[in-house]
Structure 1
Amino acid sequence: MTAAPVVHVSAAVVTDESGRALVVRKRGATVFQQPGGKPDPGESAVEAVAREVREETGILADTASFVPLGRYTDAAANEPGHVVVADAFALRVADGTGSPAGEIAELRWIGPREVATTPLAPLSRNHLLPLAWA
């Protein structure tokens, strides 16, 4: 049996002053996930997450504002048969921050009560969103 192909990404657990977590839905996708994506060649995980957050949500944050949360693995939501390995970082922002940009079709701020009714990527549901309210 061959192992599933691995996709490496950087992901941001962005929370606001009201304790909500930011999730985004890419164009053509049916589930929401944390802002983030694949690092460019030569780019560190934290550089990638800062760039991706800016490109996807318009939120500008220095790399020093991101707090490392660890590395998490789950089934990839948008690449069937793949496994995603995410270097996760926390970022706190003001309420009302961000708007959909780039490849993002929709942006939502959710609380723990909305998790059950929001279509979420496995990595977000199982690992990253619980970190937002830990």
Structure 2
Amino acid sequence: MIDKIAWLHFQDGRVLGARSRGKSVFYLPGGKREPGETDTETLVREIREELTVEIDPASAEPAGTFEAQADGHAQGLVVRTTCYTAEFSGTPVASSEIEELAWLGYEDRDRLSAAGKLIFDHLRETGLLR
């Protein structure tokens, strides 16, 4: 099981997506938990590394947990993505391993990882994504 934490940042019915260098699919910004880290600690660290913004830990709110086949891994390896919304300071810019940021709508679903597709379906059903 791959345990990931992701940030949901919305603007005008779209959500911020990230694409890593050398990859073709987008995912929600965030990443894998370090040993001993809480969800919030992982969220703050990963978003700082990837987008150079500071998440306000006190504002982090859970927004769902989703499981799917891990892209690019052996069949049966599952990625569990726990999503959070949170306030932040700064302006998101691609940093670290991130090559591209994009505002994604439901029409971009096919550009996402398997877990991202499940998350987008949920966001569409709940009216958060157009």
Conserved? CA contact 2:3–2:80, under 8 Å = yes
* Deviation at residue 92 of structure 1 after TM alignment: 5.5
Partner of 1:50: 44
Partner of 2:118: 126
**Distance across 1 between alignment mates of 2:49 and 2:41:** 12
Match of 2:108 among 115, 121, 130: 115
Q: Give 5+ residue unaligned stretches, structure 1.
A: 1-5
Partner of 2:85: 90
**Distance across 2 between alignment mates of 1:39 and 1:62:** 18
Partner of 1:35: 29
Let me know the Cα RMSD of the aligned residues. 2.4
Q: Give 5+ residue unaligned stretches, structure 2.
A: none
Partner of 2:15: 21
**Distance across 2 between alignment mates of 1:50 and 1:78:** 26
Report the CA distance shift for 1:72/1:20 in structure 2 as closer, same or farther (over 3 A). same
Q: Which amino acid aligns with 2:129?
A: W
Partner of 1:3: none
Aligned length: 125
Report the CA distance shift for 1:31/1:49 in structure 2 as closer, same or farther (over 3 A). same
Q: Helix, strand or coil: the match of 2:82?
A: strand
**Distance across 1 between alignment mates of 2:117 and 2:8:** 12
TM-score w.r.t. structure 1 length?
0.80
Conserved? CA contact 1:29–1:78, under 8 Å = no
Q: Helix, strand or coil: the match of 1:126?
A: helix
